[in-house]
Structure 1
């Protein structure tokens, strides 16, 4: 590999082959798509993180630890998306293109692996809460939660390391570097990633949520039959097991959208690795469709979770209150209330 291939080229690499501007010497369509998603992902996940830290209502659920982990990972995905944006805008000249491509691909793959593993852990957490409500607090302790989150980051970091040792491309396909486009996926490495990450996570989610909703339907039917026979009772036996059904439904929506957006990417990843299909436009679109999930997570959560909406409303009111409390000079400032209660 010669020096020309290793160094950043003066003319940007356009995967879509459309929207290239001679005036700005850049791929306008790709820059617009990537910058738009970058702004959405960063701003959306910053809002989620602030609401979680400032809304005590959300600390009720232990799954908030995994949701926050996913929000931090998605925020870092948005930050890492600045790399292709800057490369298209000629702000990364002089960097080693090969190393930059490998590091960026590794970062994105690890961060999305953290999101995938966090969703799987969320489904396990809800499964334990529904199936073992009496022993849940003893099984799911803060120490075990922290250990699980550390293991998620560690496992995600290790699983893609072979990409630095010639095993093949870790999975990122939205190439904006010429070297990235010539970096081939390898069937063995792809099979390893699918077997070690994609398949176990998908199987876990399907298994746990199928059992959660089946158990909740059984308890709902039993409660309805008992009420019809004996009238309302306080408390209803079995009613506690399904108090989290609505919350589980919200998390199921997030998980479903995650896999819907990632399914085209995974299919293309498998087809390309097997040498069956390769197309530049499909590569770009499937990759950035999957990355857009980093914004969809916070959007679905904010629209579906009532506690989150209350926390967001409270945060907005506190921000407005702080603005209103700024009086002109000479007037005593009104006392400020703390914005966060941790």
Structure 2
């Protein structure tokens, strides 16, 4: 075997039993490593700031923010998943088969929990805008926390069961050495598509369309002074909830824009052959959403910008900082 042929193998010393790797110009490879590494560090850092902020400041312990905390935790985990994407840059898996299964299952659990959290955020905003008077009694911090825990537990259990054969026999579905392949039953794949994409996206879109319709009608009512009978305090609360709905609406739209291509490619993969580069691109785009979310908070949430100053200036270490009013 020639030297040029050997350099295209993941494990040249294993010959034909080794998988082939993707060969790129050195400058392109370095650039991709720098980009993915930067995104990974930024994703982990920014989401850690969100986690610290909502966990530390008691003024932020609201049902909506607990849902944002869940989303930040999933996004924080995705930041570490970028490390595996960097390792898979040339199409070769150099870690053990067990780590391959962990990477796959953990990534799907985190992504599924993230989608479930976005559904909960949509439900939260729907109740807050469409039924503001009963929102405080219907949506409480304890109920929000219970929903978040159930979302994560159900995601973990369902996908652990789905990948039971892969977990018990790691590497069984690899066609060559250096591959990271997993497999699930076709029925499971269809259920996964329904539960993790079609049904959640349908719920999210329907709820936010309803929120938008109600928001527009309320805005017209306020402009025409029809809402003059509404107590001033209630009107102020409603405007606050509406503003939160707009911010989280941006989060939801960006989320759908990043996730749609990934699931569309997965659908196409079942009918036609999809290139590895296309699959890697849409997967990284889906992961990139985890970096975008905290950036949205920076630009649209004044309390997050204020909390960042507290954290970076180390004022958060002072006694009593948890009760500071950053709203």
Relative to the length of structure 2, the TM-score reads: 0.79
Question: In the alignment, which residue of structure 2 is the partner of 1:235?
Answer: 232
Give ranges in structure 2 of 5+ residues lacking alignment.
Answer: 1-9, 13-17, 168-176
| Distance in 1 separating the partners of 2:125 and 2:114 | 17
* 1:284 equivalent in alignment to 2:264: no
C-alpha contact (below 8 Å) 1:102/1:164 kept by paired residues:
no
Question: In the alignment, which residue of structure 1 is the partner of 2:3?
Answer: none
| Distance in 1 separating the partners of 2:183 and 2:274 | 11
* 1:96 equivalent in alignment to 2:96: yes
When residues 105 and 20 of structure 1 are mapped into structure 2, their CA distance, relative to the original with a 3 A threshold, is: farther
Question: In the alignment, which residue of structure 2 is the partner of 1:129?
Answer: 128
C-alpha contact (below 8 Å) 1:265/1:286 kept by paired residues:
yes
C-alpha contact (below 8 Å) 2:315/2:321 kept by paired residues:
no
Question: In the alignment, which residue of structure 2 is the partner of 1:81?
Answer: 82
| Distance in 2 separating the partners of 1:48 and 1:287 | 24
| Distance in 1 separating the partners of 2:222 and 2:316 | 45
What are the equivalent positions in structure 2 for 1:266-285 lying under 5 Å apart? Answer: 266-272=263-269, 274-285=270-281
**Shift, 1:293, TM fit:** 0.8
Structure 1 moving runs of 4+ over 6 Å: 11-15
When residues 275 and 51 of structure 1 are mapped into structure 2, their CA distance, relative to the original with a 3 A threshold, is: same
Q: Secondary structure at the match of 1:243?
A: helix
When residues 30 and 185 of structure 1 are mapped into structure 2, their CA distance, relative to the original with a 3 A threshold, is: farther
When residues 31 and 236 of structure 1 are mapped into structure 2, their CA distance, relative to the original with a 3 A threshold, is: closer
Question: In the alignment, which residue of structure 1 is the partner of 2:202?
Answer: 203
**Shift, 1:31, TM fit:** 3.2
When residues 258 and 15 of structure 1 are mapped into structure 2, their CA distance, relative to the original with a 3 A threshold, is: farther
Question: In the alignment, which residue of structure 1 is the partner of 2:220?
Answer: 221
1:17 paired residue among 5, 8, 23: 23
**Shift, 1:202, TM fit:** 0.6
- Per-residue CA deviation, residues 191-217 of structure 1 (Å, 9 max, x unaligned), is 211111211211111111111121121
Question: In the alignment, which residue of structure 2 is the partner of 1:258?
Answer: 255
Question: In the alignment, which residue of structure 2 is the partner of 1:68?
Answer: 69
**Shift, 1:10, TM fit:** 4.2
C-alpha contact (below 8 Å) 2:259/2:285 kept by paired residues:
yes
When residues 87 and 216 of structure 1 are mapped into structure 2, their CA distance, relative to the original with a 3 A threshold, is: closer
When residues 102 and 209 of structure 1 are mapped into structure 2, their CA distance, relative to the original with a 3 A threshold, is: same
**Shift, 1:164, TM fit:** 3.1
When residues 233 and 123 of structure 1 are mapped into structure 2, their CA distance, relative to the original with a 3 A threshold, is: closer
Q: Secondary structure at the match of 1:261?
A: helix
2:46 paired residue among 39, 44, 47: 44
When residues 27 and 235 of structure 1 are mapped into structure 2, their CA distance, relative to the original with a 3 A threshold, is: closer
When residues 224 and 275 of structure 1 are mapped into structure 2, their CA distance, relative to the original with a 3 A threshold, is: closer
Between Structure 1 and Structure 2, which shows a larger proportion of helix residues? 2
Tell me the matched-pair count. Answer: 299
| Distance in 2 separating the partners of 1:122 and 1:165 | 34
When residues 123 and 158 of structure 1 are mapped into structure 2, their CA distance, relative to the original with a 3 A threshold, is: same
C-alpha contact (below 8 Å) 2:247/2:300 kept by paired residues:
yes
